[in-house]
Amino acid sequence: MLRNLLCAAGCVVSAAAWATAKSDGVLQQLNTRIEVSPRSIAPAVMTAQGVERIGDWLPYGGARGQPEGELVFDCFHSIGACDDGGLWYFGTAFCNGMATNDMTLPAGVDRARGAHAADLAWQWTCSGSGAEWCVIGVFTQESNPVHCERDSLDYSGWLLDFGTLTCNPGGYYYSPVDLGGGTWPLPVAETGSYVIAYYQSTGFALATCAQPMLWGTGDATGDACAPGTQEAEQLDDIAPLDGFHSVPTECYTYSTGGQTCPDPLGAAMAFWGHFIVECDVNGDGAVNTSDVLSFLNLWNSGSSAADSNGDGAIDTRDVLHFLARWNCCR
């Protein structure tokens, strides 16, 4: 496994080949996936002292279909030449209690509306057999692990209670989640980050052993329609496994030098939200040339609703931005 330790000046940088076996796992792919839905969800905050629920547990509405809006960050779905390989992970012996990865959102995302749905995937090894209660916390924040920054813990997030899940079930679990009215705040800065934490109870005892499955954003494979980008750095709660991140000792790079597809890797996570100008401009439920004409009418009139790239100006860059997104939406 290759996970280069990023240290401040004067630290020793350790590196190993991806194919080299380590006591904490070997990077490998897994194709078998098992879909699960939360039983209930609750708003929460993560602080320097731990996780605190700030609202009631709410019953979850059941399996999610295609959510409204669009993907605004995608480190989960298949892209380009990577379609058939499955997701990556470090084997069932590796345990990572909490991961933080950066996310840069594409131009034109309506950050004020937040993200109302997400897709996530994880390996639930726990004790290796039997079953364990699974609660996952998902949070967003302004800090950026690319610089090995400490988690800033700016925003509230959500707890997802999946109930009892079988340990090491021969595949990875994944869940498409729609908050049904709630949102994850989206970072105001160009690049922020998301946090995924694993617990074995609603009292927030750490999971015995879990890890995020790994994927990547589409920029590394030239997929212009894959929303959002990420860098190689990720914070991992492994040294020690205590429910917090220590920097720089728990800051790692997931760049593989082209030995994985995609590259770099990161915790498998996607967020659904809205763009300032939706592809379906006329709201008829279809994305076609009528939407282009509707957008051009808005743009020609100088309407603020035509600020497709969200830069505060109405100019030809909005037309080019909208046409690129419209082509991806079809």
**pLDDT mean for each 10 residues of the chain (330 residues):** 40 30 69 96 94 96 82 88 85 95 93 96 95 98 93 96 96 96 93 96 93 87 77 94 94 91 94 92 89 90 87 88 85
Please count the structural domains in the chain.
2
167 plus 299 within the same structural domain: no
What is the number of alpha carbons within 13 Å of residue 224 lying toward its C-beta? 8
Do residues 206 and 301 both lie within one domain?
A: no
Task: Tell me, yes or no, whether 236 and 311 share the same domain.
Answer: no
Of residues 230, 276, 270, the one with CA closest to residue 107 = 276
Question: What pLDDT score does 24 carry?
Answer: 54
Tokens of 288: 């076609």
Residue 150 lies in a domain: yes
Based on the fold, state whether residues 266 and 313 are members of the same structural domain: no
180 within domain boundaries: yes
Contact yes or no for 158/113 (Cβ under 8 A): no
Type of residue numbered 230:
Q
pLDDT at 6: 41
Structure tokens at 73: 């960050």
CA gap 70, 225 in Å, rounded: 11
d(CA 317, CA 294): 17
CB distance 221 to 229 below 8 Å: no
- In a 13 Å sphere around the CA of 57, the CA atoms on its Cβ side amount to 11
What is the per-residue pLDDT for 236?
97
177 and 300 together in one domain: no
Contact, 175 vs 120, CB < 8 A?
A: yes
Please report the pLDDT score of residue 12 as a whole number.
24
Specify whether 297 is located in the same domain as 151. Answer: no
- pLDDT tens figures, 123-135: 999 989 999 999 9
**301 and 264 co-located in one domain:** no
Number of H helices, E strands in the chain: 2, 20
Q: Hey, is 86 helix, strand or coil?
A: coil
Residues forming beta bridges with residue 119, ordered by sequence position: 176, 270
Helix (H, G, I), strand (E, B) or coil at 146: helix
- For residue 243, what are the contacts with CB-CB under 8 A and spacing of at least 6? 50, 97, 98, 197, 204, 206, 237
135 and 184 assigned to the same domain? yes
Dihedral over alpha carbons 302, 305, 294, 316 (to 10 degrees): 50
Q: Are residues 218 and 311 in the same domain?
A: no
pLDDT for res 310: 85
Domain, as residue range, for 294:
289-329
Of residues 184, 182, 118, 189, the one with CA closest to residue 155: 184
In a domain, 167, yes or no: yes
The answer to whether residues 295 and 265 belong to one domain is: no
**Are 228 and 192 a contacting pair, CB within 8 Å?**
no
Asked if residue 18 is part of any domain, the answer here is no
Domain assignment present for residue 293? The answer is yes
In degrees to the nearest 10, what's the CA dihedral of 130, 132, 138, 143? Answer: -80
Kindly report the average pLDDT of the chain as a whole number.
Answer: 88
Beta bridge partners of 206: 199
pLDDT in tens, 247-280: 999 999 999 888 898 999 999 999 999 999 988 9
Are 295 and 232 in the same domain?
Answer: no
| Distance in angstroms (rounded) separating the CA atoms of residues 72 and 158 | 18
AA identity, residue 274:
H
Say if 267 falls within a structural domain. yes
Residues 71, 154, single domain; the answer is yes
In a domain, 15, yes or no: no
**68 occurs within a structural domain:** yes
Residue 19, judged by CB atoms within 10 A of its CB (0-12, 13-18, 19+), counts as exposed
